[in-house]
Each structure stands twice: as structure tokens, then as C-alpha cells.
Amino acid sequence: MSELKGAMIIGQSGGPSSVINASCYGAIKAGLDSDVITKVYGAANGIVGVLNDKLYVMDEEDPEELAIMRYTPSSALGSCRYKIADPDVDDTDYKKILEIFKKYDVRYFFYNGGNDSMDTCNKISKYMKKVGYDCRVMGIPKTIDNDLFGTDHCPGFSSAAKYIATSMVEVYQDAHVYDKGQVTIVEIMGRHAGWLAGAAALARVTGYGPDLIYLPEVDFNQEEFLEDVERIWNENHNVLVAVSEGIHYADGTFVSEAKTSATDGFGHAQLGGLAAKLGDVVKNAIPGVKVRPIELSLLQRCAEHCASQTDSEESFMAGQTAVQQAIAGVTDKMVGFKCTRDENGYKCEADLLDLSSVANYEKKVPVEWINERGNNVTDAYIEYALPLIQGEIQMKKENSLPRFVHLKKVVAK
């Protein structure tokens, strides 16, 4: 394929993670190092920044400061939850995007996000082909939910899993201090896929794992839940439970107290309050028991101090690979991971996946990795996830506090 010279745009979308900036930096650095890419732009708040003609000139950033992005959590360029319409129904946004691409001679577009972001990426790619505008479009995955189809795992999941497992080990110590004991219920993110809640099981390798884990891959049975809690309480006078926010009853309704009318920008139900609700259920069933509900909430996705070095390195590689492959002529793909776990250890390589096969498909925890009772995961989950949380990042600190990136954010004219 002939060499394609022009500018690139990278945008970030959806919920942040502790390593999304590592992917973004990998892409930006690869763009800045290329002789083919003439200018590197960062979209302010994802696709919204493109639509509003607000692009940051990454070439104007100090290289040493820019490198700190690699160990900075959240989305340094800003994120959004904006769902563009089907172009066959309403092509208004696409015409504006094309106008901006032409204005800045953008020939490379990279979008860093989860399921909905890959859908956006896919739609833009198809539209550019339809109108005959030569632009290579690549998706760079990001989601702590670990639910993107086709890839072994997603950048961001491993660090969130490490934080969750670490928190469970620490909460275990605190919960077992008192002579009277308590029931501790830890609520973990995950709407339809239980990868994050399953990560609580990694605490088992330390000897301080939760007694019960509930995932949304199987229906939640409240009667059995109470039987399990009461049985363990009678045996140990202490129960530690990990539960995914998205667990549901057999009829599909969420156990969470949140109303489905409360949604995010993509129309997904906003969940929360589950630990407190289950805590009330336990209090009513076991008179006199002390119950402590804990919601990890945003801490799961911004805990840079507990990030996985493996995750950070793979995330950087995903961004770098997307740009390098696009320069080589590849388009309409997402960078995924192909991994092996065997007697030779763990190995991860980049794998290119069709955007159309990834967009809007959710990968869930295999049912065979959940025990028959539906209240825990098997060792197969631990064998899968344990290699992903390895290593400590070399975070820059000042006054013993994290030193995160400070971008100039020079707006393109």
C-alpha cells in the first residue's frame, strides 16, 4: 500500500482507567516519532472535541512532561460519553468530522475506549470509506470491565483487578479484628460481565480471600445467598462477600436499588447501592449481626499507585502498535491481545481484530469458571488473571505524593 502522509488525531472515550494514558502515550509517541505523520492532535473530550473543533497540538508538549502520561491515571485528553447516530439515519456528525479531518489534513484516526468507543470507531471508518476519504482508522481498547470481544483481556482490567484483590486482602484483615465479627459486603463494578468481581478471588493466593463471590453471569438467588451467609456466619462468625454491581434475579431485573431510568450517556443503567441493600437483607435475616457494606466505586479505575506493570506495558504497546500498523497500511482494526499461559510462563502479543466484530459485543466470564452453586469462581479464573497483575510501576513522586502529567493543551487553530 502506498505511503499516506498526513496528521493524526487520537481521542479517549468512556470511563477512565489507570492505564488508558499509557495507551494514549504509546500512540502519541509513535506518531511523533514517525516521518509519515505530519502532526499529532489530541481530541479534547473524545469525539466531542472533533465535532467542536477543539484539538490539542501534542507536538507542542514538552517530551519529558508528556512521558509522565504513561503513569498518570484517568484520561489526560478528557473523555466523553457521546453516541453518534447510524450514518444512514443521521449523517450530521459524520459530515462535521469529515470537515475537521479535511481542515487539518487528518489521515489517521485512533480512538481509545471500550465497547461503545469501538462502535464509534467502526462507524467513522465505514463512513470515510463510503465517501472516499483516505483515512486509516484504528481502535485502541480500554475497559476495566474486560468485556471486549476477541481479545484475551483489555488494557485497564489488570490494574483494576490488582486493586480489587489487594483491597480484599486488606479488608479481610480489618474485618477479622473484632471478637464479635461481622458480615462485610464489597460491591465491585461490572454491569453485565463479572470479570472485576471475579478478581476478588485472586486474594485467595494470599490466604485471605472472600468467602463468597457473586457474578452477573448467573442468576442471583437471594434465598441461597442468605443460606450461604448464615452457614458461614455460624461456622466462623465472620463473612466476607464480593458482589458485582450488575447481579440480577432470574427475571433479569437488577438486585441493585438503582432505577434503570437513571442512565449514562449511552443509555446503560446506572447501578449502585447494592452492598447497602444486601446488607439490610442480611441484617433482617440474622438478628444482631453487624454488617458493613463497602462500595469500591471509582477507586477501582483510578488507583495508579496499585497499577500492574504488566498492564502498563501492554497498554503502551497497544497504542504504539495501532499507529505503527496504520502507517503500514492497516485500517478498520482494533488492537487486541493474544496470550499464552503454560509451563514457559505468560506471553502476550498484539492481535489485530476487525472493528465490526468487536463493536457492541460483550465478552463474559465463562460459565465453567463459576462454581455450581454460583457463589464463587474456580481456580481457572485465577490461572487466567494472576499473570496479568504482576509488577509494580515506576510512578514519579514529589513529596511522597504522585506526580501526574501537566499538559499545556495548546489548541489547534
Instruction: Give catalytic residues, as residue numbers.
Output: 145
Euclidean distance between CA atoms 59 and 108, whole angstroms? 16
Cβ neighbours around 155 below 10 Å, total: 32
407 three-class SS = coil
Phi, psi for residue 203 in degrees, rounded to 5: -65, -20
Side chain identity at 315, as an amino acid letter?
S
Query: How far from each other are the two terminal CA atoms of the chain, in whole angstroms?
Result: 31
DSSP letter assigned to residue 19: S
Phi, psi for residue 271 in degrees, rounded to 5: -105, 160
Q: How far out from the chain centre does Cα 226 lie? A: 31
User: In three state form, how does the secondary structure of 195-226 look?
Assistant: HHHHHHHHHHHHCCCCCEEECCCCCCCHHHHH
Euclidean distance between CA atoms 202 and 204, whole angstroms? 5
Contact 23, 76 (CB under 8 A): no
Inter-axis angle of helices 222-236 and 274-285, nearest 10: 70
Euclidean distance between CA atoms 128 and 134, whole angstroms? 7
> Following DSSP, what letter does each residue of 241-303 receive, concatenated?
EEEETT-B-TTS-BSSSS-TTSB-TTSPBPP--HHHHHHHHHHHHSTT--EEEEE-TTHHHH-
Inter-axis angle of helices 20-33 and 309-327, nearest 10: 40
Long-range contacts of the stretch 340-348 (C-beta < 8 A, 24+): 341/383, 341/384, 341/387, 345/387, 346/387, 346/390, 348/152, 348/310, 348/314
DSSP letter assigned to residue 307: -
Euclidean distance between CA atoms 333 and 341, whole angstroms? 25
DSSP letter assigned to residue 284: H
Contact 71, 394 (CB under 8 A): yes
Euclidean distance between CA atoms 286 and 231, whole angstroms? 11
